[in-house]
Structure 1
Amino acid sequence: MIAVAGLIIVFASVLGGFAMVNGPFAMLLQPAELIIIFGAAMGAFITSGTACSLKLSLKGAGHAYFGKTPSKADYLELLSALYALFAKINREGVISVEKDIEDPASSPLFRGLAKNKSACLFIGDTFRVYLTTGSIGELDHLMSVDMEIMHEEEMVGAHNVAHMADSLPGMGIVACVMGVVVTMGAINEPPEVLGHHIGAALVGTFLGILLCYGVFGPIAAKMENQAREQNFFFQSIREAIGAAMRGSSPIIALEYGRRSIPMSFRPSFLEMEQKVKG
């Protein structure tokens, strides 16, 4: 909802400033200009994409408005689930968590993390490899590869939307030029008619720039930030599992995970300890 609030501020500021100078709002209502700009930009966006990249772009844009990134509470739930998993492995051996990683939704170990299917799958796949091979030598590299692919996939949508945003000022100029062409065709009309046509043409440039820097550019930036914050979440999992597999005690392995959390979301050791004991 933060993104929605940001958009409201953008349009309120632009339209509010326009109203302060007694700007005629009727002149801003130019459906033809909007169709030219937005339609051409969307057409170019579709032309440049693939079925997969377009799907990722739409999914990422929707998540930018209505999704959420990991919070401090989410990190605490993660640390709690990892501690429960490591403690059980430490007591009963790694084979004891086979059922838990196969069905996280019904496992008491993943009670607070089950809704995050990507994280559960990441943890489960890592331990499945260890259960199958008994080797920890490649686990860290496997987690690194998995994280890199997930991050790159999330960035595809952000880059596509950013490219679309970059095209909007150019599309605004196209609409403006077409408006000038219409104006030149009415060169013998009275000044008030010519003024209306020129104003309509300039609205095209205005809309292209506003949509670029006020709407789609920020959406692309938000998608990039979300991808980075999601990567932080999985980096914490990677560090904790890596430490546990190297033989660290559950609490030390958990501390590796906690120390890799960005300071903005990192719980204190006391908060982590209280969550784990709870």
Structure 2
Amino acid sequence: MIGMIGIVVVFAMVFGGYLAAGGKMGIILKSLPYEMTMILGAAAGAFLIANDGGTIKHTIKDIKKVFKGPHWSAADYRDLLCLLYELIRLARQNAVAVEEHIENPAGSEIFGRYPKIQSNKDAVELICDTLRSASMNYDDPHQVEEVLDKRIEGRLHHALHSSHALQTVADGLPALGIVAAVLGVIKTMASIDQPPEILGGLIGGALVGTFLGVFLAYGFVGPFASKVKAAVEEDHQFYMLIREVLVANLHNHATNICIEVGRQNTPGHVRPGFTDLEEALRGLKTPVAA
């Protein structure tokens, strides 16, 4: 919603100010289809040249983050803490019993209570692989922490590809606008024998290219890249929370302490309250060990 409001504000302020100053939309509208075709076509071609198929699909998919924001909500962070609580408690009660959940999370009753997390491959694999390592006596917290750091850092690096790709397009758009403007000037020079009123229109049309390149770069594509990056970095905290709780578990802290470590390391605007989380944990079906 905020993204749509931003787009409306950009158009209203730029073109509203232009019209208020006495500008005429006719010259812009007449040149717009041709200039837009050249600039956006060149930008799309450069985007295809610079990126592989996976990055292209990822970028198109991530554009929705501009309007929807981060994938994980405050309720999801609470659910994640509840899920980790259940798994850690069960693992400490019966190491064999937890294996059926980490070996087949798609069919797990515990994971099934949190469908949004269950459907996220990265989160599920991170949880299951770390718990599996602990069950194999690969329980040196420092080694596991190093592995988790590298894995999460690699995931973040991959997730940021789309914002980098969009920013590259934004950086190139002003120059592509100049290319379109230069072509317009070349067209104008071919009509140098025309009267001033015609030459003025041709020069104005050429300058529309420069305007569009800068307008699209700084009014849309650049902000899109920034918003996608911010959403990806915020979602990154979800995976960092998994790391904090599972590393605390490997240090053999009490289960409630592990969860509290995770809660306190959750970003403030999505952090569940202590009382709310306690109530959620008390309502879980997993039996509580002494």
Name the TM tier (shorter chain): over 0.9
Contact 1:90/1:250 (<8 A) preserved: no
Summarize the Cα distance change of 1:5–1:118 in structure 2 as closer, same or farther, 3 Å threshold: farther
Partner of 1:37: 39
**What amino acid is aligned across from residue 145 of structure 2 in structure 1?**
D
Partner of 2:287: none
Partner of 2:176: 171
Partner of 2:118: 114
Contact 1:4/1:65 (<8 A) preserved: yes
- The question of 1:11 aligning with 2:15 is answered no
The structural deviation recorded for 1:266 is 1.4
- The question of 1:184 aligning with 2:181 is answered no
CA RMSD of aligned residues (A): 1.8
* Structure 1 alignment gaps of length 5 or more: none
Contact 2:159/2:232 (<8 A) preserved: yes
The structural deviation recorded for 1:67 is 5.8
Q: State the secondary structure of the residue aligned to 1:261.
A: coil
- The question of 1:81 aligning with 2:83 is answered yes
- The question of 1:246 aligning with 2:251 is answered yes
Mapped to 2, the partners of 1:149 and 1:177 lie a distance apart of 43
What's the % identity of the aligned pairs? Answer: 37
The structural deviation recorded for 1:275 is 1.8
Mapped to 2, the partners of 1:95 and 1:25 lie a distance apart of 72
Report which stretch shifted further, 238-247 or 3-12. 3-12
The structural deviation recorded for 1:119 is 1.2
Mapped to 1, the partners of 2:163 and 2:185 lie a distance apart of 34
Partner of 2:230: 225
- The question of 1:134 aligning with 2:140 is answered no
Partner of 2:128: 124
Mapped to 2, the partners of 1:12 and 1:74 lie a distance apart of 36
Paired residues for 1:201-216 under 5 Å: 201-216=206-221
The structural deviation recorded for 1:236 is 0.7
Contact 1:60/1:154 (<8 A) preserved: no
Contact 2:70/2:234 (<8 A) preserved: no
Contact 1:10/1:214 (<8 A) preserved: yes
Mapped to 1, the partners of 2:106 and 2:17 lie a distance apart of 52
**What amino acid is aligned across from residue 157 of structure 1 in structure 2?**
S
Contact 1:86/1:250 (<8 A) preserved: yes
Partner of 1:270: 275
Contact 1:179/1:201 (<8 A) preserved: yes
The structural deviation recorded for 1:173 is 0.8
Partner of 1:69: 71
Mapped to 2, the partners of 1:42 and 1:54 lie a distance apart of 10
TM-score, scaled relative to structure 1: 0.92
**What amino acid is aligned across from residue 100 of structure 1 in structure 2?**
H
Partner of 1:98: 99
The structural deviation recorded for 1:66 is 4.5
**What amino acid is aligned across from residue 246 of structure 1 in structure 2?**
H
Mapped to 2, the partners of 1:120 and 1:4 lie a distance apart of 33
Mapped to 1, the partners of 2:248 and 2:150 lie a distance apart of 18
The structural deviation recorded for 1:129 is 2.6
Partner of 2:2: 2
TM-score, scaled relative to structure 2: 0.89
